[in-house]
Each structure stands twice: as C-alpha cells, then as structure tokens.
Structure 1
Amino acid sequence: MDFIGAYSPIHLKFLLEGFLVTLEVAFISIVLSFAIGIVIGVLRYARIPVVAHVLAVGVETIRNLPLLLIIFFTYFALPEVGMKLDKLYAAILALVIFESAMLSEIVRSGLNSIEKGQIEAARASGLTYMQTMWHIILPQALRRMVPPIVSQFISLLKDTSLAVVIALPELMNHAQIINGRNVNYVIPIFLLVALMYFTVNYSLSLISKRLENKRV
C-alpha cells in the first residue's frame, strides 16, 4: 500500500473533481425526482380513473427493474430511436426515472397515513380538493415522510456510482483511473472514496434525525 503516492495533490484534486460531478448528478436527480415523485404519488392517491392505473403499472414496472439496466437503456438504447444523450444527462435521466418511482410510493404511503376525516372536514369547510391536499394533507404527510425520503436520497447518492459503467467522470470512475496506474493505490484510494461517501450520507442522516426530532 502506498498512501503517500495515492494521496498526492494531483490524485486528490482528480478525486475531488469526480466527487463534484457525483454531487452535481445527485443534487439534480434529487430535485427532479422529488418533484416528479410528489406529483405521481398525489395522482395515485387521488385514484383518478385510468390515470392512477397507468401510473401504478409504470411505477411497479420501474421499481422492479435494476437501476443498472435503466442506465444502459438511457445511454445505449435511446440513441437507437434518435435521442442521444451526453453521459451526464443519461445518468441523471436514469436516476430520475428510477428514484421518481421509488419516491412516489413513499409519498402515496405518507398520504394514506393521514386520517380520512381531515379531508372530509376540510371539504365540509368549503375547501376544494386541491386546496385540501396542498394546505392540509400534503404538509402533514411530508413531515411523516422525512426519514424514508432522506433514506432514499442517500440511496440515490450511492447509486450514482453505477454510472461508472458508462464512464461518467464521477468519483468511482476517477478512483478506478487512479487505481489503474498503480496497484498499491487501491486500498488507500478506496478508503478515501468510502470516507467521502460516508461523510455526505452521514450528514444527510443527521439532518433527517434533526427534522424528525423537530416534528416530534
């Protein structure tokens, strides 16, 4: 093991550049998948004829597919139908598709946990269904969903490493490049990579606990 050589300024800078790409992909994917997941979850909760059924089929299909397959599809299959995407956008699209399905189930479960009597009371007071959902039901449900949602965000951040299969220049890709230069770098580099992932994910878990404590 060569810790000194592995942790040279050039290598550390190279890893940091990859980590920034990882964080960029994760952040964009989290924002988009969270927004889409809420919309899908609400529409399924509302049980709109046909729409809810179609969404249910789509969500269950995506949830039962490996994320790696979706990444391959967005990068290698879409160009066959005229939709060629850059590696960055292909990875983001795959993550958004997969995570939106996962988050929509969390949202739907959270909405189902709210007592139905609150909807009836709100409607009786003159609020429309959308007003009831936006001002009363959804805020309560979101507070209850904080732990599973943050847990899903953590999974999303870790899942960005799968984009290494399409050579996205993220953290794992850069780690493999460095390891390819010298076999003695493998353990030091992977220890540092593990620490970088752990730092961000543990920070997210602490934020989740703090939000949960405030709710209680």
Structure 2
Amino acid sequence: MDFVGAYSADNVLYLLKGFLITLEVAFISIVLSFLIGCILAIVRYARIPVLAPLAATTVEIIRNLPLLLIILFVYLALPEIGIKFSIMASAIIALTVFESAMVSEIIRSGLTSIDKGQIEAGRSSGLSYIQTLWHIVLPQALRRMVPPMVGQFISLLKDTSLTVVIALPELMHNANIVKGHATSFVMPIFILTAVFYFTVNYLLSIYSKRLEVKHA
C-alpha cells in the first residue's frame, strides 16, 4: 500500500473535485425532491380527486424500482425518444425522481400522525383547509419528520455513487480513476473516499439529533 503516492496533492485535489460534484448533485436533488415530495404528499393527504390516486400510483411504482435502473433509463433510454440530458442533469433528474417518492412517504406519514382534531380546530377558527394545513398541520409534521428525512438525505448522498455508471465525474468515479494508476493505491484511495462520505454523513446525523432534541 502506497499511502504517500496515493495521497499526492494532485490525487487528493482530483478526489476533492469529484466530492464537490457529489455534494452539488446531492444538494440540488435534496431541494428538488423535498419540494416535489411535499406536493405529492399533500395531494395524497388532501385526497384530491384524480390527482391523489395518480400520485399514489406514481410513488408506488418509483419506490419499487431500483435507482440504478432509473439512472440508466434517464441517461440511455430517454434519448431513444428524443429526450436527451447531460450527464449532470441526468443524475440530478434520476435522483430527484427516486428520492421524491421516498420523501413523499415520509411527509405523508408525518401529516397523518397529526390528530385530525387539529384540522377541525383550525377550520372552526375561520381558516381554510389549505391555511390549516400550511399553518397548523405541516409545521408540526415537519418536526416529526426530521430524523427520517435526514436519514433519507444521507442515503441520497451515498446513492450519488451509483451515477458512476454514466461516468458522472463525482467522488467514486474519480476514486476509480486514481486507484487505477497503481495497484498499491487501491486501499489508500478507498479509505480516503470513505472518510469523505463518513464525515459529511456523520455531521448530518449529528445535526439531525440536535434538531430532534430542540423540537422535542
């Protein structure tokens, strides 16, 4: 094992560039999946005619598909019908689609955990259904969603490694290139890659626990 050679300035910098792309893709996907997940969850919770069963069917289909298949479908299959995206866009779209379904279930579970009396109280005070949902139900539900939501976002960050199959120059992609320079680099490079992933995910888990205690 050649730790000195593996951890040269050029190699570490190359890994860091990949890690920044990993974080960028993860961040954009997290924001988009949260917004879309909220919409899907609210549509199902409010039981909006036509839209609710459509959203439920879509979520169930996506949840039961492997993420790798979705990534390959977006990048390789959609161009067959004239819909083509860049590698970065394909990765973000695939991750967003998959994670939106997961997030929507977390949000829907949070919403259904709130006592129905809260809605009745809000409506009796003159608020509309949407206002009651937005000002009373959703804030309480979000507090209960923090641990599973952060856990899902940690999974999303790790799932970005699957985009290596479409050659997105993220952390795992760059790690594979660096370790290919010499067999003695394999162990050191994978250890450093693991440290990158662990550091961010561990910080997220600590933040999640603090939020949980704060809102308990």
* Fold conserved between structures, TM > 0.5: yes
- TM-score by length of structure 1 reads 0.99
State yes or no: 1:123 paired with 2:123.
yes
The letter of the residue matching 2:126 is G
User: In the aligned structure 1, how far is the partner of 2:83 from the partner of 2:204?
Assistant: 34
Give the alignment of 1:168-183 within 5 angstroms. 168-183=168-183
User: In the aligned structure 2, how far is the partner of 1:121 from the partner of 1:171?
Assistant: 50
Aligned partner of residue 169 in structure 2, secondary structure: coil
Partner of 2:100: 100
Partner of 2:133: 133
1:179, distance to aligned residue in structure 2 (A): 1.0
User: In the aligned structure 1, how far is the partner of 2:33 from the partner of 2:115?
Assistant: 26
The letter of the residue matching 1:64 is N
The letter of the residue matching 2:70 is I
Partner of 2:73: 73
User: In the aligned structure 2, how far is the partner of 1:138 from the partner of 1:85?
Assistant: 35
Listed one character per residue, the Cα deviations across residues 24-57 of structure 1 (whole Å, up to 9, x for unaligned) are: 0000000000011011101100011221101100
- Report the count of equivalent residues: 216
Q: Once superposed, what is the RMSD of the aligned Cα atoms?
A: 0.5
Percentage of pairs with the same residue: 67
Give the alignment of 1:75-90 within 5 angstroms. 75-90=75-90
- TM-score by length of structure 2 reads 0.99
User: In the aligned structure 1, how far is the partner of 2:84 from the partner of 2:119?
Assistant: 45
User: In the aligned structure 2, how far is the partner of 1:98 from the partner of 1:191?
Assistant: 28
User: In the aligned structure 2, how far is the partner of 1:195 from the partner of 1:168?
Assistant: 20
Partner of 2:58: 58
Note the residue ranges of structure 2 that are not aligned, 5 or more in a row.
none
1:13, distance to aligned residue in structure 2 (A): 0.4
The letter of the residue matching 2:30 is I
1:19, distance to aligned residue in structure 2 (A): 0.3
1:154, distance to aligned residue in structure 2 (A): 0.1
1:11, distance to aligned residue in structure 2 (A): 0.1
1:111, distance to aligned residue in structure 2 (A): 0.2
State yes or no: 1:188 paired with 2:185.
no
